[in-house]
Structure 1
């Protein structure tokens, strides 16, 4: 996980490779892949720029590492959500987690969605790795709706994730975190209505 210092996320001390992967995920989210330099990532990871090349020969390898960091973050998130007894509560906790990130969404958009969108335009194969993280979350959401007894669990999973991506985009476009708060409340009511 990350800590916040003066509004900027900082990475906990870990191995250099892990710090670089986490820093890449952070800086790509904040600046985009194309605008980010290897020096930017080295600075965020607090690693001398020359050391980056020991672990990652190319920027695309750093993109792959960032996608891996996203995947690890997702697994930690899912493990935390699994602590809730009911699938409906797990889904609502997921929504609340999204809403808790509203200020970052207003500033930079959704980390996963922004990266997926950018990589999708490149067509060099990295978009498939990005899609794998999204698929993993969609599968988990679908499992929750299935556990709620919904025959349309797959469609509901897509609807929930699409609603989040849409509100993340609008929150970022209008720089208005309160949009995400309102949508989060609506999504929680929607989830409750599906359990009846």
Structure 2
């Protein structure tokens, strides 16, 4: 028996197609940016006929919203895995390791959420800039909780500094096309965490 769409109930096939479109949207927007990405690009990446995209998403902004939901879901899954570690310092170090593990992608395209935030902020309409800010807020809140558990003074400030350092090293890695920036800066952040 195969796992083709013909053997699955129509709802499951539709949910699978929607999920493929959502994942493809997040990936293509990261690689090309919102303005350069077309519905056809997303359909091609999802292996879905272009006309079918409109069945699931009526506008490009709805696709951007779906990409933001994908980023949020990724962050929930990542922090959920990190929460399995018993020590907040180890959780933060594992987060840094995850960032460094994405250094080649960062060198080519930057941070998926950070680059989307910058691009959406330049648009005059839609309010999607506020939505992407909520995804970044999720990360900040999680990092702040880790610092709070560690008992450091000003956990919010430490969270802003750590996430800001990540955004900065992602930007520089991308601008200079040098993944080793992430490696070096990640090692520095890990040393700082060890010294807390």
TM over 0.5: yes
User: Residue in 2 aligned with 1:142?
Assistant: 144
Cross-structure match for 1:187: 189
Compute the RMSD of aligned alpha carbons: 1.0
Provide closer, same or farther for how the CA distance between residues 154 and 123 of structure 1 changes in structure 2, counting only shifts above 3 A: farther
Cα distance, 1:172 vs. partner?
Answer: 0.4
Partner of 1:55: 56
Residue matched to 2:34 = 33
Structure 2: gaps of 5 or more residues: 1-12
Structure 1 residue 69 corresponds to structure 2 residue 70: yes
Q: Tell me the residue number matched to 2:157.
A: 155
How far apart are the structure 2 equivalents of 1:190 and 1:121?
A: 34
- Alignment gaps of 5+ in structure 1: 1-12
Aligned length: 182
1:133 and 2:135 correspond: yes
Shift of 1:153: 0.2
Per mean C-alpha deviation after superposition, the further-off stretch among 116-125 and 142-151 is 116-125
Report 1:105-116 matches (<5 A).
Answer: 105-116=106-117
Which of 1 and 2 has greater Rg?
2
How far apart are the structure 2 equivalents of 1:87 and 1:155? 16
Structure 1 counterpart of 2:88: 87
Runs of 4+, deviation exceeding 4 Å: none
User: How far did 1:151 drift?
Assistant: 2.5
| SS across alignment from 1:15 | helix
CA distance in 2, matches of 1:132, 1:169: 20
1: CA distance, partners of 2:133 / 2:176? 26
- Residues 1:173 and 2:175 aligned together: yes
Q: Distance in 1 between matches of 2:133 and 2:88?
A: 24
SS in 2 for 1:83: coil
1:5-63 Cα shifts (integer Å, max 9, x gaps): xxxxxxxx971111111111000000000000000000111111110000001101000
* Per-residue Cα deviation, 1:52-99 (whole angstroms, up to 9, x for no partner): 000001101000000000010011101110111100000000000000
Helix, strand or coil at the partner of 1:17: helix
Measure the CA separation in 2 of the matches of 1:190 and 1:120: 32
In structure 2, C-alpha distance between the alignment counterparts of 1:60 and 1:34, rounded to whole Å? 11
Query: What is the alpha-carbon distance in structure 2 between the residues aligned to residue 141 and residue 178 of structure 1?
Result: 24
